[in-house]
Amino acid sequence: MVPPILKHRVGGLEARRAGGATAGFPTIARPDTGEWACALRRTPVPSTERGDSFILQATLGCSWNACTYCAMYRGKRYQVRPLDAVLAEISEGSGRSAEEVRHVFVADGDPLGMGLDHWEPILRALAASFPRLRRVSTYATARNLLEKSSEELDRLRKWGLSLLYIGPESGDDVTLRRLAKGASTAEHIEAARKAREAGMEQSLIFLLGAGGRERSEEHARASGRLATAMDPRSSPPSP
């Protein structure tokens, strides 16, 4: 069970309270393999906030997995799932709910790090399998955005990846180092610019209280500045 998280969303911004579990998804565990199965959620899930969403497990764990506040992926060894297995789950999901799915979230921690040789067949299969599909989203980090070329991001957007959930958590570089985010404010701004120029929407996530008492004001003010500089453009969920 995923504990509740206090979140606040304005436009493309989301805040979550420090001290609780980080965002995650209630998923279905396969007892035979220990892997996570994708599932159509008929109740809203934390990041997609949709009841007509399909969660597709394309990777396991997080390639960074060093953030001090997040224990969600500690017990998972990061790996990209075999493409055949992912495509089979898309086919299975389409067979059950082809007309119901409008939004797909590609999991786990930072699937944007996958190569285009995985992303292209996955995105093309999603478009072909779900005729009412409106949005494909995923988590992204500044690190894996910066690792992708502008041309690669353009191609991902063309194939259907339209929304990135990015968690700077703070705009204060001292706090970012304490959180071990692996990227500075300047790198987050550059990553957001690349995503925006590729035509991808962004939903930013900030961690309330991450600066502690010592840097509470610095964290709050710097986070506001970073959110402005990253210029998230995430439209409200469509009906």
Q: Is residue 1 part of a domain?
A: no
Longest dimension (CA), the chain: 54
Q: Minimal CA–CA distance to 51: which of 62, 39, 60, 61?
A: 39
CATH code of residue 43: 3.20.20.70
| Sheet strands (E) in 141-234 | 161-169, 201-208
Q: Is residue 237 part of a domain?
A: no
User: Phi and psi of 125, rounded to 5°?
Assistant: -65, -40
User: What is the value of pTM for the model shown?
Assistant: 0.79
Q: Is residue 236 part of a domain?
A: no
Site of tokens 């985010």 = 181
Q: What's the whole-number mean pLDDT along residues 103-127?
A: 95
- CA dist., res. 126 & res. 1, Å (int): 28
Rounded to the nearest angstrom, the gap between the alpha carbon of residue 206 and the centroid of all alpha carbons in its chain is: 13
Q: Is residue 239 part of a domain?
A: no
Q: Is residue 32 part of a domain?
A: yes
> Which tens digit of pLDDT belongs to each residue from 134-147?
999 999 999 999 99
Q: Is residue 235 part of a domain?
A: no
Tell me the residue range of the domain where 85 lies: 7-230
Quote the number of domains for the chain.
1
Q: Is 199 left (phi over 0), alpha (psi -120 to 50) or beta?
A: left
Q: Is residue 144 part of a domain?
A: yes
Residue 85 in tokens: 């297995």
Beta-bridge partner residues of 101: none
> Which tens digit of pLDDT belongs to each residue from 1-15?
222 222 333 334 444
Q: What's the whole-number mean pLDDT along residues 178-205?
A: 96
Q: Is residue 2 part of a domain?
A: no
Element (H, E) at 85: helix 83-97
